[in-house]
Amino acid sequence: MRELPWPAKVYFVALIGTAGFLLARSVTMPKWYDQVEWSRLIVLALLFLVCESVPTLLNVPQAAVSVSYSAALAAVVLVGPLGAALVGLMAVVSVRPGLPVVKRLFNGAQFVICGYAAGWAFTLAGGTVGLPEITDFPGIIVPYGAATAAFVAINFMLTAIILLLVAGVGRNQVSLRGIVQFLGSIVGYATFGLLIAGLWATVQSISTVLVLLPLFVARWALGHYHAEQRSYDATIAALCQAVETKDYYTRGHCTRVSAASSMIAEEIGMGTERLRAIRYAGMLHDVGKLGVPTKVLQKDGDLTEEEFAAIQLHPMRGLEIVRGIDFLDEAFAGIMHHHERHDGKGYPMGLAGSEIPEFARIIAVADAFDSMTSDRAYRKAKPVDVAVAELRKNAGTQFDPVMVGTFIKALSRDGWNPPEAVPAPPDDAVETTAKDHDDPTTPIQVVSER
Amino acid sequence: MATARAAHGLDSGQLLLICAAGMLTVAGISHTAAVGLADSQVAIGFGVLIAAGELARLTMPGNREVAPVSTAAALGYALLLDVGGRPADHSALQVVAVMSVGMIAGGLPHLAVGRPPRLDAMARRLLAGSLLAFAYRPLAGPLRRVALEGDWWPALGVMAVLSAVMLTADVVIAAMLRAEQVRTAFRVAVRDEIRMGGPLGAAVAASGMLLVLASHSMDMTALPAFAAPLLVTQVAFRKYAGIRATYLQTVRALSRVTEVGGYVEPGHSRRVSQLALAIGRELGMSEPQLLELEYAALMHDIGQLSLRDPIPGGATVLTDPAQARRIAELGAEVIRKTGVLHGVAEIVERQCDPVGDSPPAASRIIKAANAYDDLVGGSTDRDRAAAALERLRLDGGAEYDPAVVEAMARVVDRLVLVTRL
């Protein structure tokens, strides 16, 4: 609480005050006690507690929405505004170890307010509180929809305000796609609430168990999904690094290119799916390099045309290796064309300008940048600003100027951690190369064999 | 592997299943056509939901095709007591008809974009649903009378028991098919099916019962409302299945870098992993163990990437033992860096250990499979295979586990036969 900025504190106190006032007003009404169906309330409150204790993972971690929506909305129908508010109040005692009291109070207060709002919206739109009859369907959908809308809108607003006051969530963190997914999940969870309310007339509290079972199975699967996803990311990184161990100086190149590529992609506002794809494409862009004979990379001096052709083949080799993976097609295009140049003088196909796939244009910038800011056998790492100047110089000839501009913007905001200086290899136990095909400052020289 | 199996055609168990389902479909549709559709609005509503679920089918790890929404809707229709108080008196054969028409309708768009249906999986879904319908429909009348008087417990109990029986039957059928398909022991297959299908089956059964209750108290509104819980489940499972598939594809793909780099013969990792998998199945390994075995077999040579120069020919059975051991350790180090595949790293690390050091079973399998492939390569020559097996047998149980070698002999025998045919 102490570290909160003062507007947040004011907001926080006002919120709790409002919630307290609303509850007090209901409780001081005559005979309020008899207006509440206590057995329903207790079951729904328990359900809320269970749901609140296992929040679903969402993109923005601070604004995690949990299934508890369903319980609160079912309470709107079955018990009324006060019931929904009391159910929401359970957020204060949710079983989440380590959740600070401040957050508990905030959650409780905002759920109380949302509960009241949803309850009023329900009655205003013509709904009657109590067990829904068969004849209420499908007409009940209108007031129930109004209740859901009120609940979600106010919940979203209250949470967004506190997030803005406390941290200021960046524009990029909440994408349009994310909002669509968010709304979709809300409609889903709202329907759970309707199911609970609708089934109550038939099987009372058993309805909650039946509704919860599929939900928990879904959560089980989602949990496994996230674990597999993390494990997958770690594995792909480790395998790419294994490919690089052969060359002493390029270690870590793949992960850094992946990071820089996703910086650019995020800056131009790519969706989650494509962001993930470009991360993998950046990671895998050089796997084909293993097919280039070591003696070519280690050769001092100019290469013959034949030797240069071996280097030019590596994007195709890479593509050949990863083609069996179920990535977005764009990721493959990115790997295949990451050495094309904006002026059409690149390889393997000599594409130019907008013919080059977007992913490839991004990876090309990230690739060259990391190459310049890392140590090489034949030179020390360049400072970031020198590398940036070099990117600027080559924008329009080698690189897509838009991507260079975007990258520089992202760099100046987020900064960049260049790799640590690589100590000179201890002896000749490791391999060093005399060439880096990614380095725009020392292009590979080719002699004609005629 | 799936395509290879498809090319060889369906095996006898699958054929039997598909024929049974086909006959049932014909019987259901012709009966319904003869006596007319009872309560057509309800039937159409459920049929549409089944079709939608079939459209959204997904493939779970292990190449298992499932359609949870379709199955749950079919379950709901089979178990239906009443719709908003109006009794549901459809016969079991009508359930079969609605199911099969819905499934065919949902499968057509897939067919249109060139994804042929997995007939055996569809047949299994149809049979499981029909089984339930035949067992439950005769009881529906009495159960409804009790339920409408306010006591839902008998109905719920019967539904739960019959759903459980149906799920068990489904698991047994699936395990039988799988045992035949991938040649694993039946008991292992049952365990695998329960592990893979259990959670989803529970969710589907609960949803089916939910649908029955919802139809009673919410009338036809139940159908769209009910789609929500299953949609959430479906999305979660789709994501999980997707990442599992990508994971395996990625390890398979990246295991080829050793070939591109000239460290091993082309196709070596792939062949070793396929042979190792077949041996593992022959020895009764469960699916999670087989997955670790496959990962380890694919990456067993990855330690060579840390070597300065490729070993000529790359055949580790012919290199000196110290070198081979070094490669195994380097490989394990690489895999350990993932921070997750500890079991795989252990298997790779101990792939050179003699039997006396009691390495994990997977390591012994990889050691033998690797040696076999080094000796035989991609050749399908019978004599060469026999010679290689003889050489592994002559070792006398010091380096190669005799049980593994014998399992390999059986597998190789089968493979050679298949390629000859």
Q: Among all residues of chain A, which has the CA nearest to that of B330?
A: A242
Residues of B in contact with A182 (CB under 8 A): none
Q: Among all residues of chain A, which has the CA nearest to that of B86?
A: A134
Contact flag A322-B335 (C-beta cutoff 8 Å): no
Of A205-209, A389-393, B272-276, B409-413, give the lowest mean pLDDT range: A205-209
Contact flag A214-B152 (C-beta cutoff 8 Å): no
Banded model confidence at residue B309, pLDDT cuts 50, 70, 90: low
Scan residues 319-358 of B and list those with Cβ closer than 8 Å to A: 334-335, 337-341
Q: Among all residues of chain B, which has the CA nearest to that of A227?
A: B240
Name the residue among B130, B267, B265, B287 with its Cα closest to residue B198.
Answer: B287
Scan residues 142-161 of B and list those with Cβ closer than 8 Å to A: 152, 156
Q: Distance (Å) from the C-alpha of residue B236 to the closest C-alpha of chain A?
A: 5
Residues of A in contact with B220 (CB under 8 A): 138
**Which residue did the predictor score with more confidence, B94 or A70?**
B94
Look at residue A172 in the predicted model and tell me its pLDDT: 46
The two tokens of residue A381 are: 């790492």
In whole angstroms, give the CA distance from residue A193 to residue A75. Answer: 8
- CA angle, B227 then B229 then B233, to 5°: 110
Look at residue A58 in the predicted model and tell me its pLDDT: 37
Q: What is the mean pLDDT of residues B127-141?
A: 91
In whole angstroms, give the CA distance from residue A267 to residue A403. Answer: 10
pLDDT at residue B417 greater than cutoff 70: no
Interface test with A, best of B338, B341, B344 (most A CBs within 10 A): B338
The two tokens of residue A9 are: 């504190």
Look at residue B5 in the predicted model and tell me its pLDDT: 42
Long-range contacts of A296-300 (CB under 8 A, 24+ apart): A296/A435, A297/A247, A297/A433, A297/A434, A297/A435, A298/A431, A298/A432, A298/A433, A298/A434, A298/A435, A299/A434, A299/A435, A300/A434
- CA angle, B52 then B56 then B60, to 5°: 145
Cβ contacts from A onto B, under 8 A: 198
Residues of B in contact with A291 (CB under 8 A): 260-262
Residue B417 contacts A where some CB pair is shorter than 8 Å: no
Q: Are A144 and A77 in contact (CB under 8 A)?
A: yes
Look at residue A65 in the predicted model and tell me its pLDDT: 53
Who among A211, A230, A238 is closest to B334 (CB)? A238
- Mean pLDDT across chain B: 85
Q: How far is CA A10 from CA A161, A166, A309, B319, B410, in A?
A: 12, 12, 68, 75, 77
In whole angstroms, give the CA distance from residue A407 to residue A332. Answer: 22
pLDDT at residue B34 greater than cutoff 60: yes
The string of pLDDT tens digits covering residues B337-365 is: 888 888 999 999 998 888 888 889 999 99
Contact flag B340-A235 (C-beta cutoff 8 Å): yes
Residues of A in contact with B298 (CB under 8 A): none
Contact flag B216-A202 (C-beta cutoff 8 Å): yes
Interface test with A, best of B83, B254, B258 (most A CBs within 10 A): B254
Contact flag B253-A232 (C-beta cutoff 8 Å): no
Who among A202, A232, A290 is closest to B243 (CB)? A232
pLDDT at residue B168 greater than cutoff 60: yes
What is the bridge-based pairing of β-strands B64-66 and B82-83?
Answer: unpaired
Contact flag A138-B220 (C-beta cutoff 8 Å): yes
The 8-class DSSP code of residue A248 comes to G
Structural domains of chain A ordered from first start: 6-226 (no CATH), 245-447 (1.10.3210.10)
Who among A238, A246, A326 is closest to B249 (CB)? A326
Q: Report helix angle B287-298 to B222-254, nearest 10.
A: 30
pLDDT at residue B3 greater than cutoff 60: no
Contact flag B260-A288 (C-beta cutoff 8 Å): yes
Q: Are B121 and B183 in contact (CB under 8 A)?
A: no
Who among B230, B237, B309 is closest to A221 (CB)? B237
Residues of A in contact with B217 (CB under 8 A): 132, 134, 198-199, 201-202
pLDDT at residue B394 greater than cutoff 90: no
Q: Among all residues of chain A, which has the CA nearest to that of B225?
A: A191
Residues of A in contact with B260 (CB under 8 A): 288, 290-291, 317, 320-321
Q: Among all residues of chain A, which has the CA nearest to that of B302?
A: A242
Banded model confidence at residue B4, pLDDT cuts 50, 70, 90: very low
Q: Among all residues of chain B, which has the CA nearest to that of A245?
A: B306
Q: What is the mean pLDDT of residues B182-193?
A: 85
Contact flag A321-B260 (C-beta cutoff 8 Å): yes
The two tokens of residue A17 are: 């005050």
Look at residue B259 in the predicted model and tell me its pLDDT: 81
Contact flag B252-A324 (C-beta cutoff 8 Å): yes
Banded model confidence at residue B264, pLDDT cuts 50, 70, 90: confident
The two tokens of residue B223 are: 């159908």
The 8-class DSSP code of residue A265 comes to H
The string of pLDDT tens digits covering residues B100-124 is: 999 999 989 988 988 888 888 889 8
Residues of A in contact with B251 (CB under 8 A): 235, 239
Q: Which residues of A209-218 are buried (b: 16+ CB within 10 A; e: fewer)?
A: ebbbbbbbbb
Residues of B in contact with A327 (CB under 8 A): 246
Look at residue B1 in the predicted model and tell me its pLDDT: 39
Of A38-52, B132-146, B305-319, give the lowest mean pLDDT range: B305-319
Q: Distance (Å) from the C-alpha of residue B337 to the closest C-alpha of chain A?
A: 6
Q: Among all residues of chain A, which has the CA nearest to that of B339?
A: A234
Residue A450 burial (CB < 10 Å; 0-12/13-18/19+)?
exposed
Look at residue A61 in the predicted model and tell me its pLDDT: 38
Scan residues 293-312 of B and list those with Cβ closer than 8 Å to A: 299, 302, 305-306, 308-309
A116's enclosing H/E stretch is: helix A101-124
Look at residue A356 in the predicted model and tell me its pLDDT: 92
- Please report, in tens digits, the pLDDT of each residue of chain A (450 residues total): 556 778 788 888 888 888 888 888 877 777 777 767 787 888 888 878 777 776 554 333 334 456 677 888 888 888 888 888 888 888 777 776 777 788 888 888 888 888 888 888 888 887 777 777 777 777 778 888 888 888 888 888 887 787 777 765 544 455 566 677 677 777 777 888 888 888 887 777 777 777 777 777 777 787 888 888 888 888 888 888 888 777 777 778 888 999 999 999 988 888 778 888 999 999 988 888 877 777 777 777 788 888 888 888 888 888 888 888 888 788 899 999 999 999 988 888 888 888 899 999 999 999 999 989 888 877 888 899 899 999 999 988 999 999 999 999 999 888 888 887 777 666 555 556 667 788 887 777 777 655
Residues of A in contact with B225 (CB under 8 A): 191, 194-195, 198
A123 contact partners, CB below 8 Å, separation of at least 6 = A80, A81, A129, A143
Contact flag A324-B249 (C-beta cutoff 8 Å): yes
